[in-house]
Amino acid sequence: MSSIPSAATPNSTGSRFGGWFRRAAKSGMDALPMHLPVRLGGGDFTQTKAAPVRVLGFDQAMLWVVVALLAWGFVMVYSASIALGDNPRFARANYSQFFFVVRHGAFIAIAFVAGLLAFQVPMRIWERVAPWLFIISILLLVLVLVPHIGRVVNGARRWLPLGIMNFQPSELAKLAMVLYAASYMVRKMEIKERFFRAVAPMGIAVFVIGMLLLAEPDMGAFMVIAVIAMGILFLGGVNARMFFVIATLVVAAFALIIATSQFRRERIFAYLDPFSEEHALGKGYQLSHALIAIGRGEIFGVGLGGSVEKLHWLPEAHTDFLLAVLGEEFGLVGVMLIIVLFLWLTRRIMHIGRQAIALDRVFAGLTAQGVGIWIGFQAFINVGVNLGALPTKGLGLPLMSFGGSAMLMDLVALALVLRVDYENRVLMRGGRV
């Protein structure tokens, strides 16, 4: 089979795709082992290979992996939170053993409906509303800092009470940054070789969000948003020298933030030696008990529901340290399976984004890849923290940890990825989106 000529127009490309699929349908083929055009920088076309994909609907394998993570997370939230009602810290709240798992199930249901609605919106509409969504996220980050409006939990002011749930604007800011950065790179593609005109406005946007997040404080969300912005800049084709300059500045900024904060310095020291007499009952308490839980699990775990650390020893066992309970109950096998699932999911999302770019849909492709960076990086940080490989940060495990705002934004973001994949398949069948 011959490949598509590099000078093909969009219309001729669509007709050729349509003709190929008509022939493929007759022969019972369901893959696309061919070359797709990729637009590079100045507008020239080259050829890149696209991996075989099914051409109807959307990526069902990806959907089932997401469902598997949601289901496993649902079971683990119940296991990790079942004893919280007996904890003296929550005596006034009088939690039942089903309190957190029922709320978690409700969050999943609400997020699922939101994801279905998000999937119905074409990517061209998301591109138009991206700047406005970014502005809304900034306004909400300001609003959460207003006294008597933002809700304070454990000394952090991060939530807006909405009755049925406490909404965390920093989660919306992650999605807004993905969409805004993708649309920004499309709009600035012609000047991406000029540092200040192409990169400085994005740097200012990240700086503003970063200052608002540090005021909450929420350095973990700031790190995720900074990595999303840098990743999309890099994938969008910013000059490599510019990128390494930006990366150096970002690393230096985070080092300065840590060096000037006694609280964050103590966390670093506790991470280096969590079992020391100085840190075991202080900043290293969570990490030391997470490591004890992981150690107790050994290879195959102590069995579902058999965790001891969740019985008032390990704080936030149903949120940030859910993986530690999972490691105790399912052992090394369970932890490795979670890592493999997130690796596969991230790789698949990045592939969908690359496929969209191959079809000359740069915004859709960068959006999907931005979601892949977000999910992959946050899962990497959470796994690293639970295993003691990284300093403690307040980031939950995507799709699994308890948290309404995170679940809502995670499923909306993944719905956008499935929308990108759906539109890719429509175009490859010769249709229009």
**How would you classify the pairing of strands 35-40 and 44-49?**
antiparallel
Domain-located, residue 269: yes
Q: Could you tell me if 42 and 141 lie in one domain?
A: no
**How would you classify the pairing of strands 166-167 and 156-161?**
antiparallel
Domain-located, residue 71: yes
**How would you classify the pairing of strands 156-161 and 44-49?**
unpaired
pLDDT in tens, 138-170: 999 999 998 888 888 777 788 888 877 889 999
pLDDT in tens, 66-97: 999 999 999 999 999 988 877 666 656 667 78
β-strand partners of 48: 36
Domain-located, residue 406: yes
pLDDT in tens, 3-16: 333 333 444 434 44
Model-wide pTM > 0.85:
no
Say if CB 361 and CB 371 are below 8 A apart: no
Using 50, 70 and 90 to split pLDDT, how confident is the model at 58? confident
Structure confidence at residue 91 (pLDDT): 57
Q: Could you tell me if 132 and 43 lie in one domain?
A: no
Is pLDDT of 183 > 80?
yes
Q: Could you tell me if 70 and 113 lie in one domain?
A: yes
pLDDT in tens, 276-313: 877 778 788 888 999 999 999 999 999 999 999 988 88
For residue 177, give the nearest of 406, 370, 369, 418 by alpha carbon.
370
Q: Could you tell me if 34 and 106 lie in one domain?
A: no
Domain-located, residue 149: yes
Mean pLDDT estimate for the chain? 82
Domain-located, residue 53: no
Q: Could you tell me if 21 and 96 lie in one domain?
A: no
Say if CB 350 and CB 236 are below 8 A apart: no
Structure confidence at residue 168 (pLDDT): 92
| Mean pLDDT value of segment 416-426 | 95
pLDDT in tens, 337-352: 999 999 999 999 999 9
Residue with the two structure tokens 């700086």: 207
Q: Could you tell me if 36 and 160 lie in one domain?
A: no
Q: Could you tell me if 393 and 294 lie in one domain?
A: yes
pLDDT in tens, 358-375: 999 999 999 999 999 999
| Mean pLDDT value of segment 376-391 | 93
Helix/strand/coil (H, E, C) string of the chain?
A: CCCCCCCCCHHHHHHHHHHHHHHHHHHCCCCCCCEEEEEECCCEEEEEECCCCCCCCCCHHHHHHHHHHHHHHHHHHHHHHCCHHHCHHHCCCCCCCCHHHHHHHHHHHHHHHHHHHHHCCCHHHHHHHHHHHHHHHHHHHHHCCCCCCCEEECCEEEEEECCCCEECHHHHHHHHHHHHHHHHHHHCHHHCCCHHHHCHHHHHHHHHHHHHHHHCCCHHHHHHHHHHHHHHHHHCCCCHHHHHHHHHHHHHHHHHHHHCCHHHHHHHHHHHCCCCCCCCCCCCHHHHHHHHHHHHHCCCCCCCCCCCCCCCCCCCCCCCCHHHHHHHHHHHHHHHHHHHHHHHHHHHHHHHHHHHHHCCCHHHHHHHHHHHHHHHHHHHHHHHHHCCCCCCCCCCCCCCCCCHHHHHHHHHHHHHHHHHHHHHHHHHCCCCC
Q: Could you tell me if 34 and 110 lie in one domain?
A: no
Q: Could you tell me if 223 and 326 lie in one domain?
A: yes
Domain range enclosing 22:
10-48
Structure confidence at residue 312 (pLDDT): 82
Q: Could you tell me if 17 and 100 lie in one domain?
A: no
With b meaning 16 or more CB within 10 Å and e meaning fewer, what string describes 19-58? Answer: ebbeebeeeeeeebebbbbbbeeeeeeeeeebeebebeeb
Domain-located, residue 54: no
Domain-located, residue 1: no
Q: Could you tell me if 252 and 367 lie in one domain?
A: yes
Is pLDDT of 354 > 70?
yes
pLDDT in tens, 193-216: 566 666 778 888 888 998 999 888
Number of domains observed in the structure of the chain: 2
Domain-located, residue 208: yes
Q: Could you tell me if 18 and 157 lie in one domain?
A: no
| Mean pLDDT value of segment 176-189 | 89
